[in-house]
Amino acid sequence: MSERSIAEKQPMTDLERLRHSSAHVMATAILRLWPEAQFAAGPPVENGFYYDLQLDHRITTEDFPRIETEMKKVVAEDQLFERIPVSREQAFKLAEAGALGSLGPRNAPSKFKLDILQGIPAGEEITLYRNGDFTDLCAGPHIARTGGIGAFKLTGIASAYYKGNEKNPQLQRLYGTAFKSKAELDDYFVRLEEARKRDHRKLGRELGLFHIDEEVGAGLVLWTPKGAILRRELQGFISEELRKQGYTEVFTPHVAKLGLFRTSGHYPYYRESQFPPLIEPDSLRRLADEGCSCAALSNLLQEGEVDGFLLKPMNCPMHIKIYDSAQHSYRDLPIRLSEFGTVYRWEQSGELGGMTRVRGFTQDDGHIFCTEEQLAEELFRALDLGQRVLRALGLNDFRARLGLRDPDSAKYVGAAEQWGKAEDALRRAAEKVDLTFAEERGEAAFYGPKMDFVVKDVIGREWQLGTVQVDYNLPERFDLNYIASDNSPKRPIMIHRAPLGSLERLCGVLIEHFAGSFPVWLAPEQVRVLPISDKHLEYARKIEQLLAGAGVRTTVAASSDKIGAKIRLAQLEKVPYMLVLGAREEQAGEVAVRSRSHGDEGAVSAHEFVERVQKEIREKKID
RNA sequence: GCCGGUGUAGCUCAGUGGUAGAGCAGCGCAUUCGUAAUGCGCGGGUCGUCGGUUCAAACCCGACCACCGGCUCCA
């Protein structure tokens, strides 16, 4: 564990300390089995710990029992964790001798420890930690003795690049988790199991919300009828909010000429993350006749000597063209264009998953063209909208992240002065809407800084949903202008914003958030009418008609199942309301209400129930 | 893209070289029932794809595809 010693920010919690010590115990165990293992970094992480190591033997899950057995021995030996401050020279000497991250001197130096040592600034204290024969370069802290580790388990093996850099060697990353007691460990796995039950990939299939088909392509989502209802409701919700905020809706095509994206800078700069260009049939034939190689074609495309079309990776260039299709007076600004725009990005195969990381997705996109003076107000409104829609959907547990550029990276465009202005404008707007945010370097868009709204999925992975981005750059590239009050042309500023981000990702997150039990307004099926027997089918149809007429999505369970089975099915399908109808209800003109979450609620008049459901839908009630 | 794992019926899974199985779902028939599973019967599989080893492959080997967990990436 050494990365952390360099970047140590907050003191470790007791649990982190225990897990960090578990990483050392795991390393000790591994060295007893494979003395030649080279260790890199082994920090505690959110749900446990890991240690990165290099070893010719590929560790698999079959090795876990052996490693765990060895770890148990180390815990049983109740070794003391000893903190040893050393001089730089001593540390280097030990690393050279292979004695760091090891059980003693070896014939090969502890190369990663050596590298880490070199990164420790002069003057900073260097400490070792020793438990039993195992000595490691480590800033600590640790628990007192190995016996303090109550319960642990290895949870996975993965690969990771040394220091997270693709250019560095790949190491084996062995994950584990540890707790003070066996009960807490067991509880953790129970919770994990619960979380997996709400995984949107599982629920999406069970509830018939979406389908991803191998033959259609990885990362390309098919929205089934039920999923389409969910999506349409979300789109309707956003459309209404945007209309209130003075947006106008536009439509644009899914492909455009490559030249458009050259002007915007998306091509060839980000071509690795785009579907490859489409080439006109005539050009393609001519090039083929000339015996043009793929490599040559790629170059010709890059240099702009052959034109083609691109599946759009972003909507902004097209919205810009709409803005630029007419002359604008300062009196017209701000102009706010919105579109549910579907974009296509070539995500790496290993990154695809469910609805949260896909290759084609629809953004609730929008672009605001405004003056310098209007920027603050427009940012304020965009951030306010972003927060409000997430809260309306019950996603209260989000965090905001201000993405700043990394001054050392070349991937950003535009003048430093404009970046500074844009960053300040975002900060001020965030303060005004009372949004707490964390600033992160290297998280900006290539054209400007952005404020992202980030949520977590059931297994703790973070996903960016909404975003608000300031852009001085694209207006420049497309030479946009408006006529100012002094009759001179002036450059507008652009704001890119998508309060929900991608509808696919949002739906994935929402499925997990609600565990499939959507609030009534979002539920694909809002009410299921359950006649006790065929005798009451006619009355059931009447109630269905009543509800359908009132705009409530309703079906009738007309099967010959017993009522218990009908209820069970409706519960499993997470329909918010069930209406049980038998002779009693039919005679009284009532419906016996059963809610998904509260069970039998007794009979009310059909009319009363309709009003109740309508109210919940209208108010977007979350139960 | 990289490392590791997985891929058998619509779903969940069993099947370690000798003619593919269960439960649920589906279909048919019977049942007409009061708040989480009525009974009986029937159909359903190029065992991810392609190639190899073998007298014989779901099973062993290789490549590819997809998915899962990470890493890198994420305009």
The separation, in Å, between residue A71 CA and nucleotide B65 C1' comes to: 39
- Judged by DSSP in three states, A101 sits in coil
**Identity at A62, one-letter amino acid code:** E
Strand partners for A102: A135
Q: Please name every residue paired with A327 in a beta bridge, in sequence order, or none if there are none.
A: none
Of residues 356 to 395 in chain A, which lie within 7 A of strand B by their beta carbon? 357
Q: Residue A120 has what pLDDT? A: 82
Ordered mean pLDDT values, 10 residues apiece, chain A (623 residues): 39 86 93 90 88 86 85 91 88 86 86 86 85 87 88 87 81 90 87 87 95 92 96 96 95 95 88 90 90 87 88 96 96 96 94 93 96 94 94 91 85 83 91 91 88 86 92 93 96 95 95 95 97 95 97 95 95 97 95 96 96 97 89
Q: Please tell me whether any atom of strand B lies within 7 Å of the Cβ of A349.
A: yes
What's chain A's Rg over C-alpha atoms? Answer: 30
Residues whose CB falls within 8 Å of the CB of residue A282, separated by 6 or more in sequence, listed in order: none
The predicted pLDDT at position A451 comes to 95
ipTM of the predicted structure?
A: 0.93
A69 touches strand B (CB under 7 A): no
Distance A393 CA to B35 C1' (A): 30
CA A436 – CA A296 distance, rounded (Å): 50
Residues 181-210 of A with CB under 7 A from strand B: 199, 201-202, 205
Looking at the C1' of nucleotide B36, which residue has the nearest alpha carbon? A568
A10 CB-to-strand B distance under 7 Å: no
- Residues near A156 by beta carbon (within 8 Å), at least 6 away in sequence: A174, A175
Any atom of strand B under 7 A from CB of A165? yes
Peptide bond into A65 cis (omega under 30): no
pTM of the model: 0.91
For B67, which residue's CA is nearest its C1'?
Answer: A353
* Separation in Å: B40 C1' and A562 CA: 17
User: Using an 8 Å Cβ cutoff, are A2 and A41 in contact?
Assistant: yes
User: For strand B, is any atom closer than 7 Å to the CB of A259?
Assistant: no
Residue with minimal CA–C1' distance to B31 is: A560
A192: exposed, middle or buried (C-beta count within 10 Å: 0-12, 13-18, 19+)?
middle
Q: For strand B, give the nucleotides within 7 A of a protein CB.
A: 1-5, 11-12, 30-38, 65-75
- Distance in angstroms, CA of A607 to C1' of B71? 58
Q: Is the CB of A354 under 7 A from strand B?
A: yes
Any residues with CB less than 8 A from the CB of A364 and at least 6 apart, and which? A235, A238, A338, A340, A498, A499, A500, A501, A503
| Nucleotide nearest to A202 in CA–C1' terms | B11
Strand B, CB < 7 A, residues 507-536 of A = 532-535
List the catalytic residues of A.
316, 345, 363, 365, 367, 450, 496
Å separating the CA of residue A586 from the C1' of nucleotide B51: 67
Q: Which residue is nearest to nucleotide B65 (CA to C1')?
A: A214
Nearest nucleotide to A347 (CA to C1') is B74
Q: Provide, in whole angstroms, the distance separating residue A216's CA from nucleotide B20's C1'.
A: 29
Instruction: Report pLDDT for A10.
Output: 61
Q: Which of A460, A447, A274, A468 is nearest to A378 (CA)?
A: A468
What is the strand order of the sheet A134-137 is part of? A81-86, A126-131, A134-137
Contact A5, A138 (CB under 8 A): yes
Strand B interface, A 540-599, C-beta < 7 A: 560-565, 567-568, 571-572, 578, 580, 582-585, 592, 594, 599
- Is A469 (CB) below 7 Å from strand B? yes
Token representation of residue A404:
């700043």
H or E stretch covering A176: strand A170-179
A160 touches strand B (CB under 7 A): yes
- Scan residues 260-319 of chain A and list those with Cβ within 7 Å of strand B: 266, 270, 273-274, 313-314
Q: What is the pLDDT, as a whole number, of residue A2? A: 33
Please name the amino acid found at residue A161: Y
Closest nucleotide C1' to the C-alpha of A444: B75
pLDDT reported for residue A564:
95
